[in-house]
Structure 1
């Protein structure tokens, strides 16, 4: 078994194609050497073999070869939201621009960053393999509409419940 793993690692290293010339811009648009990839089926195929290494590099990996791609922010956008139940029993799911479905839970958490230029919230959800989707503005506003106030560690926090976990969207003190 160890010999097979060593062979696999060696073959992956030998079949590194380097930079594939694929780029994903901040709006989730895919490009090959500067030209847009307009076929959604092709984008979905590439997305299905994408991963991210611990150093933050993005890869397309097939059984035979692998190569790096560049990503401006994150590779996916959450373009649609679904909810069922309500309150602490609520389950929130998103559909990405490559038609992957992800349910917000402890393994697929929400996180909110602040845009350095504007100070506006930038919401993300973990999809798989270190890959994330940024919620579009309309999806984020829809999510905010499902939230409510909780007290966490003595602080008023606004957020949403999903899959039995509370995900903060912001401190209520920021709204006062």
Structure 2
């Protein structure tokens, strides 16, 4: 009887730990941000210990799942996206005291809005993610194409080695802002300009 109870308790421990970790991380971010607008902490300055993995997965379609349950609160996803960290090809949630590995199917950020903005007399592309990141396309934050499965997908670099997938509707808006042509191989090329940066994307 005691052994059975102990076994049952041990199988629940990971789930309990995950819930506690998720709650602690959320509370830390809220405390750090206080009443300020959303901001990205200085993750590159933190060197916490690795604390194992959490049953948190970001799917290629943009859904976040925790312990088999879809996270429906966008505010929660917005919070966690501010402490995303990538290291040696793996993704983590990172705070000053712990670095917990999570699973990401493709990329954890997703662009759903494209605009053009004027900065010092030059026109730049401005991309906004579903988690309220605002990215000005430049040399450090270029748009590029990359294969995922058997599909070629558009991305933009955001921070800490992490990219954002440009969702279909947003990419179609980008196409309207650029020029389409064919290269010598007959492939379609999208030409885009953002400030002084010229991009040629084979689509």
3-state DSSP of counterpart to 1:52: strand
Q: 1:78 aligns with which of 96, 111, 133?
A: 111
Contact 2:58–2:104 (Cα < 8 Å) also in 1: yes
Correspondence 1:166 to 2:166: no
Give CA-to-partner distance per residue, 1:57-107, whole Å, 9 cap, x none.
Answer: 00100111110000011001100001135xxx4300111011111111000
Q: TM-score, normalised by structure 2?
A: 0.68
1:98 to 131, 138, 163: 131
Paired residue secondary structure (1:139): helix
Query: In the alignment, is the contact (CA less than 8 A) between 2:141 and 2:157 conserved in 1?
Result: yes
TM-score, with structure 1 as normaliser: 0.78
Aligned to 1:107: 140
CA RMSD of aligned residues (A): 2.3
Higher relative contact order, structure no. (Cα contacts within 8 Å, ≥ 6 residues apart): 1
Residue aligned with 1:90, SS = strand
Size of the aligned set, in residue pairs, is 151
Does residue 1:42 correspond to 2:73, yes or no?
no
Structure ID, larger Rg: 2
What residue is the counterpart of 1:30 in the other structure? 64
2:159 is the counterpart of 1:125: no
1:148 equivalent in structure 2: 179
Larger helix proportion of the pair: 2
